[in-house]
């Protein structure tokens, strides 16, 4: 199957800049997938997104969106995508209906008419449907400035789905929203994915949002630091381990040695057993010494991310293949 | 083709609607023309009108009218860079619409906005007693549109050379305010020292103001104020400037817009 987004060796150096804002990035996104581009501020997320959405030229590399080359077939790319920008892209003095209407006409869905009542019936019906979905039947003809932040975001997304884009780009869509609005927005996006099979390309610095993605690409300083499912990224970066302790710690150590289970410990800390060859239940089943402590340490994406980004701040480079030094060892 | 036409109309419609909904902006857009015509035109007429031998109020009125049309359209077009980073303008740039349509729609929209402002200026001019015949008003309509188009093309040329909103805010006053004086909005520019004379003849607004005035005095009884050129000469120069500004400006804009 043809990839929704195919990026190869993408590089961008801004005019008069000495370093590359995006530096040799390659990835591909399957149709219908939720893909998250994760990174701290200034990592190159928005630059990448601007190039993919045809508003910025690249320096080198190739980008194919839904089968169209972004340089040669920019218009076809624009037709195939919807973009929700970081900054709201609504005119506050215009009504919700007007904002939607402008968009619909720009995408060639309907001819231009200066008033709602003069628009084709099909358009009017569609608008009423959308208003019902959003629950804004009453506010439809009121200026956007009276809407809440969460409401505006939802309206933008609905508007950007009007032309049935194959790919929806979301640039930090939940920044500035309260937790409830954020949750509602995600529920709505899940519904959209189920109903329209839209590919979603998300940039975010919220880890819990990336955790929902099928694939996560972590970038920092313009380079890819990790690429894969949230689970593999976590697995690659942070070791999963078991912490055990017993009143009779010496007996426990002896037993583990006897069972040929590797562990690490310092004089006065619980025993740490890396999980890899054996699963936690397999290990626990074998142990007869009464335990006083048993925790399974399963890393979150956040730990993996902080590990990556944080370590980079210290030594400037990062090799994901190298196992982490065990901090308690 | 039909799609592009719809897009042009939509972009223009948006500009006009935004202007009509923005009451503070409407009020502000009238303050300066009112001060210029009312105070400058009125007091000059009262104090110097007799010696000058022509109606100074009408002189300032025609100058300010052309200046409002030119400046408002130019600054409106330049706002394309200012709000590329916010509101609906962002969405315009990723829509499957030709860049030429965006520019055309923007010039059309800002021309309509400027004409709406000009109606206010004319009404105020009548209130303070500028002599205006029906024929003159009628002749102002095509002239006003021509001056707007010149301003719009000038705006594109400036816009194409500006990367950011900050730069636009710095540069725009610099290319607009000197033109007030070089073009003779309030002052006759018949005898200038050579360097200023050259600058004056280079300022695009000069030809807009002179055209407006030439048509006004051409249709007025009584003594005419000094104008520089025949209206047809002005028209020719404006047509030339418009073509050059628009062609170079659009070419640069399309080239620079994504290439940052």
User: In this predicted model, what pLDDT tens digit does every residue of A183-197 receive, in sequence order?
Assistant: 888 888 888 888 888
Per-residue pLDDT band at A312 (split at 50, 70, 90)? low
Closest CA–CA distance from residue B218 to any residue of chain A (Å): 38
Q: DSSP secondary structure string, chain B? A: -HHHHHHHHHHHHHHHHHHHH-HHHHHHHHHHHHHIIIIIIHHHHHHHHHHHSS-HHHHHHHHHHHHHHHHHHHHHHHHHHHTTTSHHHHHHHHSS--HHHHHHHHHHHHHHHHHHHHHHHHHHHHHTT----HHHHHHHHHHHHHHHHHHHHHHHHHHHT--SHHHHHHHHHHHHHHHHHHTTSSS--SS--HHHHHHHHH-HHHHHHHHHHHHHHHTSSSPPPP-SS-HHHHHHHHHHHHHHHHHHHHHHHHHHHS--
Closest CA–CA distance from residue B64 to any residue of chain A (Å): 29
Closest CA–CA distance from residue A33 to any residue of chain B (Å): 22
Subunit contact B21:A143, Cβ cutoff 8 A: yes
Contact A244, A252 (CB under 8 A): yes
The confidence score (pLDDT) of residue B237 equals: 94
The confidence score (pLDDT) of residue A318 equals: 40
The confidence score (pLDDT) of residue A105 equals: 94
Which residue from A56, A91, A106 is facing B87, i.e. has the nearest CB?
A: A91
Count of structural domains within chain B:
1
Contact A165, A4 (CB under 8 A): no
Yes or no: is domain A5-93+143-233 CATH 3.40.50.300? yes
From CA B168, how far away is CA B173, in angstroms rounded?
9
For a pLDDT cut of 70, what percent of chain A falls above it?
92
Q: Is the pLDDT of residue A214 over 70?
A: yes
Q: Which two tokens mark A21?
A: 């804002």
Q: Is the pLDDT of residue A118 over 90?
A: yes
Per-residue pLDDT band at A313 (split at 50, 70, 90)? low
List strands edge to edge, sheet with A223-228: A81-84, A167-171, A199-204, A34-38, A215-220, A223-228
Best of A21, A98, A106 to substitute, by most chain B Cβ atoms within 10 angstroms, is A106
Q: Tell me whether A106 touches chain B (CB under 8 Å).
A: yes
pTM equals 0.81
Q: Which ranges of A117-197 does DSSP label H, i.e. alpha helix?
A: 121-134, 149-160, 179-196
Q: Which residue has the tokens 């997320």?
A: A45
Residues of A in contact with B254 (CB under 8 A): none
Subunit contact A103:B95, Cβ cutoff 8 A: yes
Average pLDDT over residues A254-265: 85
ipTM: 0.83
Best of B19, B258, B259 to substitute, by most chain A Cβ atoms within 10 angstroms, is B258
The confidence score (pLDDT) of residue B37 equals: 84
User: In this predicted model, what pLDDT tens digit does every residue of B10-48 receive, in sequence order?
Assistant: 999 999 999 999 888 888 888 888 888 888 887 877 777
Lowest-confidence segment of A3-7, A103-107, A167-171, B86-90 by average pLDDT: B86-90
From CA B131, how far away is CA B170, in angstroms rounded?
38
Could you list the residue range(s) of the whole structural domain that residue B75 is in?
A: 2-257
User: In this predicted model, what pLDDT tens digit does every residue of A266-307 receive, in sequence order?
Assistant: 767 888 888 877 788 888 888 888 888 888 877 677 777 777
For a pLDDT cut of 90, what percent of chain A falls above it?
35
Closest CA–CA distance from residue B96 to any residue of chain A (Å): 5
Nearest CA in chain B to A169: B94
- Kindly give the parts of chain B with pLDDT less than 50: none
Residues of A in contact with B2 (CB under 8 A): 111
Encode B74-112: b = buried (16+ Cβ within 10 Å), e = exposed: bbbbbbbbbebebbbbbbbbbbbbeeebbbbbbbbbbbb
Count residue pairs from A and B with Cβ separation < 8 A: 88
Residues of A in contact with B259 (CB under 8 A): 15, 57
User: In this predicted model, what pLDDT tens digit does every residue of A32-57 receive, in sequence order?
Assistant: 999 999 888 888 998 999 999 998 89
Closest CA–CA distance from residue A8 to any residue of chain B (Å): 20
Subunit contact B14:A94, Cβ cutoff 8 A: yes
Q: Tell me whether A116 touches chain B (CB under 8 Å).
A: no
Contact A224, A217 (CB under 8 A): yes
């Amino acid at each position: 199957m043809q990839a929704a987004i195919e990026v190869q060796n993408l590089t961008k150096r801004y005019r008069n800049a000495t370093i590359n804002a995006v530096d040799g990035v390659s990835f591909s996104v399957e149709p219908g997938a939720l893909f998250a581009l994760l990174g701290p501020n200034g990592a190159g997320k928005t630059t990448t997104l601007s190039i993919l959405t045809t508003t910025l030229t690249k320096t080198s590399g190739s980008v194919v969106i839904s089968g169209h080359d972004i340089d040669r077939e920019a218009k076809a790319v624009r037709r195939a995508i919807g973009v929700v920008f970081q900054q709201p892209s609504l005119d506050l003095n215009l009504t919700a209906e007007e904002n939607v209407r402008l968009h619909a006409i720009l995408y060639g869905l309907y001819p231009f008419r200066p008033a709602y009542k003069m628009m084709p019936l099909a358009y009017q019906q569609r608008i009423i449907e959308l208003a019902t979905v959003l629950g804004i039947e009453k506010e439809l003809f009121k200026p956007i400035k009276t809407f809440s932040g969460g409401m505006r975001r939802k309206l933008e997304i609905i508007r950007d789905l009007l032309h049935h884009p194959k790919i929806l780009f979301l640039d930090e869509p939940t920044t500035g929203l309260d937790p409830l609005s954020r949750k509602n927005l995600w529920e709505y996006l899940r519904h959209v994915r189920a109903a329209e099979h839209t590919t979603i390309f998300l940039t975010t610095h919220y880890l819990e949002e990336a955790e929902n993605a099928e694939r996560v690409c972590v970038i920092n300083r313009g380079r890819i630091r990790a690429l894969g499912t949230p689970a593999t990224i976590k697995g690659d970066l942070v070791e999963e381990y078991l912490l055990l302790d017993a009143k009779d710690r010496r007996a426990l150590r002896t037993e583990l040695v006897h069972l040929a289970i590797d562990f690490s410990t310092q004089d006065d800390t619980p025993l740490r057993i890396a999980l890899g060859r054996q699963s936690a239940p397999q290990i626990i089943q074998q142990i007869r010494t009464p335990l006083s402590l048993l925790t399974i340490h399963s890393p979150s994406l956040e730990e993996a991310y902080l590990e990556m980004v944080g370590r980079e701040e210290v030594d400037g480079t990062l090799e994901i293949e190298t196992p982490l030094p065990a901090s308690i060892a | 083709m039909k799609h592009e036409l719809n897009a042009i109309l939509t972009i223009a419609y948006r500009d006009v609607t935004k202007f009509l909904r923005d009451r503070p902006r409407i009020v502000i857009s009238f303050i300066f023309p009112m001060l210029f015509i009312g105070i400058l035109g009125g007091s000059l007429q009262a104090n110097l009108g007799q010696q000058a031998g022509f109606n100074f109020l009408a002189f300032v009125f025609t100058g300010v009218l052309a200046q409002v049309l030119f400046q408002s359209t130019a600054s409106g077009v330049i706002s394309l860079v200012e709000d590329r980073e916010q509101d609906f303008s962002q969405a315009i740039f990723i829509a499957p619409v030709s860049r030429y349509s965006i520019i055309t729609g923007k010039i059309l929209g800002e021309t309509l906005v400027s004409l709406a402002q000009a109606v206010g200026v004319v009404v105020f001019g009548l209130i303070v007693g500028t002599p205006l015949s029906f024929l003159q008003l009628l002749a102002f309509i095509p002239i006003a549109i021509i001056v707007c188009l010149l301003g719009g093309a000038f705006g594109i040329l400036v816009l194409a050379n500006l990367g950011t909103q900050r730069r636009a805010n710095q540069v725009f006053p610099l290319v607009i305010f000197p033109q007030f004086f070089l073009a003779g909005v309030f002052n006759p520019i018949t005898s200038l020292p050579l360097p200023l004379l050259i600058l004056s003849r280079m300022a695009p607004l000069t030809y807009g103001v002179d055209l407006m005035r030439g048509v006004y005095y051409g249709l007025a009884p009584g003594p005419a104020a000094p104008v520089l050129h025949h209206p047809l000469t002005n028209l020719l120069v404006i047509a030339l400037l418009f073509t050059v500004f628009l062609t170079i400006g659009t070419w640069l804009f399309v080239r620079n817009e994504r290439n940052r």
